[in-house]
Amino acid sequence: MAEAHQAVGFQFTVTPDGIDLHLSREVLKHIYLSGVTSWIKRAIRFKNGILTGVYPASPSSWLIAVIAIMSTMYARIDPSLGMIDTIKRTLPVSDYMTVQTQTVLSAILFATGLWLSLILMLRYILKALLSYHAWIFESHGKMSFCTKLWLVRLSNMFSGRRPLLYSFQASLPRLPVPSVDDTITRYLESVRPLLDDEQYNQMEVVANDFKRDEAPKLQKYLILKSWWATNYVSDWWEEYIYLRGRSPIMVNSNFYAMDLLYVIPTHRQAARAGNVVHAMLQYRRKLERGEHAPVTSTPLSVSLTPSLSLFVPLRVFRSLPHFPFDFVQHLSDRKHLVVYHKGRFFKVWLYYGGRHLWPSELETQFQRILDDTTEPQPGELKLAALTAGNRVPWARSRLKYFSQGVNKASLEAIETSAFFLTLDDEAHGYDPDKLRSLDLYAKSLLHGKCYDRWFDKSFTLIAYKNGKLGVNAEHSWADAPIVGHMWEYVLATDCFHLGYTEEGHCKGDINKGLPPTAKLQWDIPLECQEVIEDSYMVAKEIADDVDFHGCLFDEFGKGLIKKSRTSPDAFIQLALQLAQFRDKGEFCLTYEASMTRMFREGRTETVRSCTIESTAFVRAMQDKNTKRLDLFRKAADKHQNMYRLAMTGSGIDRHLFCLYIMSKYLNIDSPFLKQVLSEPWRLSTSQTPQQQLNMVDINKFPRYVGAGGGFGPVADDGYGVSYIIVGENLITFHISSKFSSPETDSYRFGQNIRQAMLDIRALFDQNDKKEM
C-alpha cells in the first residue's frame, strides 16, 4: 500500500563490512510527534476524568479541606472526634514513618475521606433536585413557591465551575417505571377516539384482564430490572427495535440531516468537504475529552423545554457490524476515513505529524480522489448496496466473502473508519426557482443511488459537486437531536470559524508532502456480485417507492404562535390532525417522539397526539362550530400535558413495550400486549430541535439557518412527518409516504398542512377582531 511505503522509518543494506543502517529523520520526527500527541491526549482525558469525577466539587477543594483540618489540629481542636487518632494507630511505625508524619498523614486521610463524603452528599442533593419535575406542569409565567425554592437551590449548585460533558452523569435520576393502572388508563383514553363503542368495550375487557392476570408478575420483574439496569428501556429498545430487525435499514430506519437552507459557503466540492471533515474532527476531539458543555435549560426559559436535558453523545463516530444479529461496535480515536467516489473506495489518513490534517490538506486529498480516473474493480461499484438491502444476505455474504484476504482488510478499513464520506457526482440543494429541488435533495440524502452510502456506518457525510452537504445517519446508536447537535457545531465552525479564501478554497498552506490516498482493493467473486445485485434491486424498489415532499411554511412561525399563548409544538400537532382528517377522512394512531433526556441514558418516549380533545376540535373545524377556539385551547392543553408526562417518564408506549419483552422472556402469552404492539402508526411525526448550541445568531444572520432533516414512512399507507421550527418566522416540513399506496400523496398532505396552519391562525385573527 502507498502509505506503507511512505511510512518506512529506516532501511538497511547488507555489505561485506556489515549492515549499513539508514534512518529517515522525517519519518522518525512524525513518529515522535505522534507519541507526544498520544500522551497529551491521555493527560487531558485523565485531567477531565478527575474534574468530572469530583463534580460538583473541584480538585482544589480537596486542598482546602486538608488545610482546614491541619489548621484545626495546630489549634488543638479535633474536628474528627477521635477518628484521626484511630487512623494514626493503624499506621505502621518505622524509621520513615515518624510520629509527626503519622499525624500529618492521618489528617490528610481523614480530610480526603471527609471531602469524598461531601462530594457524595452533593451528588445526592443534585440528584434529588434533578428528580423534581413539578415545574414542568405549571402554567407558563406562574411559578409555585416550591419551584422558586428549587430553582434557587439548583442555581446555587451550578454557580461554581463550568461543568464538562459527563459532569452530571452520576447525578441524573433513573427512568421510573409507571404503574400498570396509570399506563392502562392512559392507553384506553388514547384509543377511545379511534374505536367505536363495541370495539372500545372489547379493548377495555382485554386490558382489564391483562391488568388483573399477567401484568402484576411482569411489572415486578420490570421494577427489578429498573433497580439493576441504568435505564430499564434503552438497552431493549436498541436491541429489539433496531439491531434485531432483518429488513433493510435504508429508508426504514436511517434518517437524514440537510445543509444550510439558503447558503452555500463555497461551490468547490473538495474544499467544502475539507472544512467540514476538519470541523468533525474538532468535534470528536472535544467529545472524547468530554469538553462539550451539557445542554441545559431551566423554567426561566420556555416552559416546555426540559430542565437540564443533559445531552451526552456517548457513541458518536461508531460503526455497525452485523452477524448473526446487528450489534454496535464501539471504536475510539480512529485515524482514517473512507471516501466513496464514482464506484471506488479510498482510504484517507486524518493525521499527519501527530496532528489532524488542516482543511487545506484535506481539500488536497479529496481533490486527488476527484481527479482520479481509474475504473471500479469488478463488484466494487454497487458494493455498498449490501448495507441497503435485507440484513440476512448481507450477514451471510460478510461471513463468506469478506472474512479473509484483501476483502477482509478493505471491509475492516471501512468499518473501523472515523466515518464514511461520499463525494457525490450529483448537484442537490434547495433552489426556489426549481420545482421539487427540496424533494430530490431529501431523497438523495435518504437513499441516494442505493449503493453510494454505507448505511451501516454511524453516519455518512455526503458532499455534492456544487458544494452542498448532508448526512445520512444510522438510527440505533443515537436519535436525531444527537446528530443535530454535532451538525450544528460542524456547520457553524465551517462558516464562521474556518471560512474560505476568495477563490473558495480552504484557508491555509498546501502541503505537497502528504502521502497519497490509498485505493481499497477487492476480490469479489461472481457469486457475491449476484448477491450485491439482488440487494441493490431490493433497495431500489424501496427507494423508488418513497414519495417525498419538502414544505417551507413561511406565512408565520413560532413568534406569532407564542403570542397566542400556545405551545408551537401543540399548534403544529393539531394542524397535523386537521390535515390528516382532511386527507383521509378519518383519524389514526399518531406517533410523536418526545425526549427523555432528563433521565440517565434516556432516549425517546411516544406522545399519542390523536386525543379525544383533538378529534373534537377537528370535527368542530369541519362543522364551522362557533366554539372552535375553545376546543383548540383544550386540545392544546391536553397535548402539552401528555408531552410533559412523556418527558417525565410517565409515557405509555415504552412501558408497554418493556412489558411485552418481559412476557416473551417469561413465556407469558398476552393478547392485550400483542394487540397493542401490532397497531400501525399511520401518522409518525417528530420535531427536530434547532439552536442547541447557539453558535450562530440567526437574528443577525437569518440566511444561515438549517433545513432540518427527515425520515421515511413508517406505515405502508401512512405518512412520516418531520418538522423544524426555524427562528421566529419559518417552519419546514419533511413529508414522506409511499407511491404504492393509493391512499397517500405527500404533496397533497403538505398542502393540507399548510391550509390547516392558516385556518387555525384565522381562528385567532377572528377572536382578536371580536375583542377589538
Q: Which of 447, 475, 505, 655 is catalytic?
A: 475
Give dist(CA 487, CA 424) in Å, integer: 19
Identify whether the C-beta of residue 271 lies closer than 8 Å to the C-beta of residue 279. no
For this structure, is 655 an active site residue? no
Give dist(CA 586, CA 553) in Å, integer: 25
C-alpha cell at 84: 484521626
Question: Which amino acid type is present at position 112?
Answer: T
Distances (CA, A) of 66 to 109, 279, 316, 477: 9, 43, 40, 44
Q: How far apart are the first and last CA of the chain?
A: 78
In the 3-class helix/strand/coil scheme, how is 570-634 assigned residue by residue?
HHHHHHHHHHHHHHHCCCCCEEEEEECCCCCCCCEEEEECCCHHHHHHHHHHHHCCCCHHHHHHH
> Which residues are CB-neighbours of 473 under 8 A, at least 6 positions away?
254, 255, 256, 257, 458, 459, 460, 480, 483
H or E, element range at 746: helix 746-771
Q: Which residues of 512-538 are buried (b: 16+ CB within 10 A; e: fewer)?
A: eebbebbbbebebeeebbebbeebbeb
Give dist(CA 734, CA 724) in Å, integer: 9
Distances (CA, A) of 547 to 467, 739, 741: 25, 6, 10
Detail the DSSP E strand segments found in 268-371: 336-341, 344-349, 351-352, 355-356
Nearest to 391 by CA among 529, 250, 533: 250
Nearest to 516 by CA among 374, 319, 331: 374
* 238 CB burial (10 A radius; 0-12, 13-18, 19+): buried
> Which residues are CB-neighbours of 302 under 8 A, at least 6 positions away?
none
| Torsion angle defined by CA atoms of residues 233, 595, 478 and 342, in that order, rounded to the nearest 10 degrees | 140
Identify whether the C-beta of residue 673 lies closer than 8 Å to the C-beta of residue 662. no
Question: DSSP for 29-41?
Answer: HHHHHHHHHHHHH
Largest Cα separation within the chain, whole Å, is 107
In the 3-class helix/strand/coil scheme, how is 172-189 assigned residue by residue?
CCCCCCCCHHHHHHHHHH
C-alpha cell at 693: 448550541
H runs (alpha helix) in 213-343: 215-228, 234-236, 269-288
Give dist(CA 128, CA 394) in Å, integer: 48
In the 3-class helix/strand/coil scheme, how is 399-417 assigned residue by residue?
HHHCCCHHHHHHHHHHHCC
In the three-class reduction of DSSP (H, G, I as helix; E, B as strand; rest coil), residue 755 is classed as helix
Give dist(CA 443, CA 424) in Å, integer: 14
Question: What is the set of active-site residues?
Answer: 475
